[in-house]
């Protein structure tokens, strides 16, 4: 196991939703707070190579969480930005880290990289067996290119880079901005605002048939830190729960937990996104012992409670 106590660790995106949890898990795993570096995008735009080179200098481990990401709405509105920003941040940071002699690079990918019709549950070996769902493709392909980069740098330079594929994340402090949020925070906010405004209906994109899998942010962070300490192979690894729920059932569960009694109106002229998402999680369990602990209902309760105390 990699001893983190004397390692200088850079966490890009470390002040974000997942990043805060990763920093906390690093500290619990023995990392030295004085040796943790968390760059902020306003001062360190990773799309600029000079900033990447400065950020990685003298670092031992890089955990790359920073991403330009959102839900279906943002994917449709800004596909070019999502492709360019994520590709440039990741590719330049990996190259700078290799040049600086960084000991280990931990890259966080996305399940948006999987083909649209991947057999369920998604296995890592199926990652290249087709084109991603169209609205996800610019973001997913940009992030998947980083896997190729890490594997090629390992082959040519012996650079130790690993690639993790977390499923859809949720939890307290998630992004609840309706223009860029993912499905769980978007639904929680919609229900909350309907209740505040006395509206007895909830409009939801699609027909409710797609399935999704959701990983609580604390579990995801714990998995990332476990992989940082224990995993050193080139193959990508899924991080998930291996439990899927339909969007229809998710809406009903959130409505139940928030005691919303209104009518659900499905906007079937809007896109569904990928038909099904559920991950095979055997590789993570077998290679570094990761298994999710938070069940969906309790995780949703925690997230709803947080948002009610911090509505935006």
Residue 19 marked ligand-binding = yes
Tell me: is residue 276 an annotated ligand-binding position: no
Residue 36 annotated as binding site: no
190 in a labelled binding site = yes
SS3 annotation, the chain: CCCCCCCCEEEECCCCHHHHHHHHHHHHCCCCHHHEECCCCCCCCCCCHHHHHHHHCCCCEEEECCCCCCCHHHHHHCHHHHHHHHHHHHHHHHHHHHHCCCCEEEEECCHHHCECCCCCCECHHHCCCCCECCCCHHHHHHHHHHHHHHHHHHHHHCCCEEEEEECEEECCCCCCCCCCCCHHHHHHHHHHHHHHHCCCEEEEECCCCCEECEEEHHHHHHHHHHHHHHCCCCCCEEECCCCCEEHHHHHHHHHHHCCCCCEEEEECCCCCCCCCCCECCHHHHHHHCCCCCCCHHHHHHHHHHHHHHCCC
18 labeled part of a ligand binding site = yes
The reply to whether 102 sits in an annotated binding site is no
Tell me whether residue 168 is annotated as binding: yes
Whether residue 300 is annotated as binding a ligand: the answer is: no
Active site positions, annotated? 139
Q: Is 262 annotated as a binding residue?
A: no
The reply to whether 26 sits in an annotated binding site is no
Residues flagged as binding site for substrate = 190, 205, 212
Residues flagged as binding site for NADP(+) = 13-19, 143, 166-169, 182
């Amino acid at each position: 196991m990699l001893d983190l106590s004397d390692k200088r660790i850079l966490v890009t995106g470390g002040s974000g939703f997942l990043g805060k949890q990763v920093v906390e898990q690093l500290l619990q795993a023995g990392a030295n707070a004085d040796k943790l570096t968390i760059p902020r995008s306003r001062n360190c735009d990773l799309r600029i190579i000079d900033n990447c080179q400065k950020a990685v200098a003298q670092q031992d481990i890089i955990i790359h969480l920073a991403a330009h990401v959102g839900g279906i709405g943002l994917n449709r509105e800004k596909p070019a930005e999502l492709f360019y920003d994520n590709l440039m941040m990741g590719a330049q940071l990996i190259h700078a880290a290799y040049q600086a002699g960084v000991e280990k690079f931990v890259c966080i990918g996305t399940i948006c990289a999987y083909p649209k019709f991947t057999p369920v549950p998604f296995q890592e070996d199926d990652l290249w067996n087709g084109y991603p769902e169209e609205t996800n493709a610019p973001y997913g392909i940009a992030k998947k290119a980083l896997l190729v980069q890490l594997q090629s740098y390992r082959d040519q330079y012996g650079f130790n880079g690993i690639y993790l594929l977390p499923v859809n994340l949720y939890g307290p402090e998630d992004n609840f901005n309706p223009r860029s949020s993912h499905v769980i925070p978007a639904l929680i906010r919609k229900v909350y605002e309907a209740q505040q405004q006395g509206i007895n209906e909830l409009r939801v994109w699609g027909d409710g048939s797609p399935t999704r899998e959701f990983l609580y942010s604390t579990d995801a962070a714990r998995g990332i830190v476990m992989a940082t300490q224990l995993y050193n192979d080139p193959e990508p690894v899924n991080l998930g729960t291996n439990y899927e729920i339909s969007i229809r059932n998710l809406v009903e569960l959130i409505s139940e937990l928030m005691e919303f009694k209104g009518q659900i109106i499905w906007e079937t002229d809007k896109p569904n996104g990928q038909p099904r998402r559920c991950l095979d999680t055997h590789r993570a369990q077998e290679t570094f012992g990761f298994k999710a602990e938070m069940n969906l209902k309790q995780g949703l309760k925690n997230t709803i409670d947080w948002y009610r105390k911090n509505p935006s």
